[in-house]
Structure formats: structure tokens, C-alpha cells
Amino acid sequence: MVERLSGGYVRGRPIIQEVSFTMAPGEWVALVGLNGAGKSTLIRHLIGWMRPETGTIAIDGRTPKEDPLAYRRSLALVPEMPVFDDALTLLEHLEAYAASYGLPEALWQARFTPLVDAFRLGPHLDRYPRDFSKGMRQKMLLVMVLLVRPPLLILDEPLLGLDPLGVRTLLTALDTARREGSAILMSTHLITTAARWCDRLIVMHDGKLLWQGTFQEMKLAVQGALANPAGQPYGAEGALLAGGAGDGRDEKPDDQSAEWSDDPDALYLALIERLTQTRLTNGARANDA
């Protein structure tokens, strides 16, 4: 649970402002937003690297302030730029990471071989991460996190650097973790992938939570047909969206609306345009590039 979270790098100058959302066990949520939207800053607050100015964060009732160790063991992070100990082999990293979470031996035995085999890391267990490619290092960290599988998995651009087989393996493994009860928060710019695999999307913009909902709800929001929980149509500073009184726009964004319904990237950009009342693409759609 994140409630009215605000914070940043300089006290009194918050980057993220009044962010609130909840996640249920077994829910896979995509954290999306344009560059500079505040996604990475939000993640740093969630994992305890930054202290919020206001607001609360809790996982299963544990907070980083009241019980920092229990809170830290309630989540696992896959950062965009992983860092490893070059003095330890891949196997030693897995063993140390599992020990830090107190992973029972039975779970180690059940998860270790399937994960190592799925990510094709078996022949490399005695090698050092300094000798790995970027994709190999990414797979190594993904196996570490999926091995311990705490209540919340946070992944910051986890698909970068992976080959197509690695992407498919990761998405399948995350789907398994979700089915077993782990909540997953995945920061990504791959909107098509998020729309296909994730239960819900959270859209950040200028440090604020701009919108959240399913992909189907995003389609409705672009057409101005979806109201927010307070009962008012989504829009900047309370302004009505398409079809609302005084908006002056047609019911549909333009004559490409039917095409947008099958284009998650274009829908996503159109959503941000409507909610912020700004033009992002100078008339060109994502699939025109």
C-alpha cells in the first residue's frame, strides 16, 4: 500500500507528489510513464533507498520505518543497472541471496534447478559475473529474485538486454510467480508487452499518478467514457474529457480511433495527451515513426 507519498532528492522539493495506490497478492502491475515521469524515484522510495517527506508505504502491514528488516525481506528488486560482487561466482551469488532472505532448503531445492535451466545458466554456475554479457548479468539477477520470491517483486526495465528467448522465459516465470501469490510491479516502456501480460497499468506523469486501470479501461478513458473513482471524468485539473460538457471536442480523438484500439502505444500516448491536455506527437502516432 502506498498512500499520499511525496518525496525527492532535496527536502522541500518533491519529485513525486501525493502518489497513492494498492496492490493485491498475485497482481501484476505495469508502472509506465514518459522519461522523467518519476518512476525510478518512486521505486527508490519503495525499496527504502530514499525516505519520503510525507505519506506511508507498507507491505503486508510492514513499514520501512517500524520494521526495516522485515520490510526489506518482503520485497526483491531487479534494478535497471545491476551490480554484483566480482569475487563471487554465479552459484555463490544465488546461495548468498537466498540466505539473506532466509529461504528454506526445501524451496531452494524446488526452485533452483528449474530456474537455472529455464534461463540457460547451468553451464555458468562456476563463472564470475565480470565475465558475463549484459544479458547474462540480467538473467543472473532475475534468477536471484525469482528464487526468493517475496510478497512483492519490483522490476525496473527488466526486459532490457534480454534476447527474445530470455524475454519469453522471464515473462513466463513472472506469470508463475504471480499465480503463486507474489505481487509484481514492473517499470517498463514496452506498453504492448504490459497490455498483454499485466493486470493493470499505473501511469506516472510529472511526479504524479496520472491514471491507473486495465488496458480495456484505457481504451474507454481515451474516448472520454470512463469516470474516475470520484465519479468525474478524467482530465487535467478536473476538466472533462472528450464528449464532456464544455470540452469542445468530438466523442472520439480523431478518425484513427478504431486503429488505436489495437495499438497499445498509441492509446497510451493519447491517454497522456487527453489527461494533460498537451500534444506529445505533433500529429504523428507511435506507429508512424
Q: What is the mean pLDDT of the chain?
A: 85
Nearest-angstrom CA–CA distance, 148 and 203: 28
Q: Is 26 helix (H, G, I), strand (E, B) or coil?
A: coil
Whole-number pLDDT of residue 80? 84
Q: Which domains does the chain have, with CATH numbers?
A: 2-197 (3.40.50.300), 214-277 (no CATH)
Whole-number pLDDT of residue 171? 95
* pLDDT 10s digits, 56-92: 999 999 999 889 999 999 999 999 888 899 999 999 9
Whole-number pLDDT of residue 261? 60
Taking residues 113-119, report their average pLDDT: 95
pTM of the model: 0.84
Residues 6 or more apart in contact with residue 138 via CB below 8 angstroms: 82, 158, 160, 161, 162, 166
Residues 6 or more apart in contact with residue 207 via CB below 8 angstroms: 14, 15, 16, 17, 37, 38, 41
Whole-number pLDDT of residue 236? 37
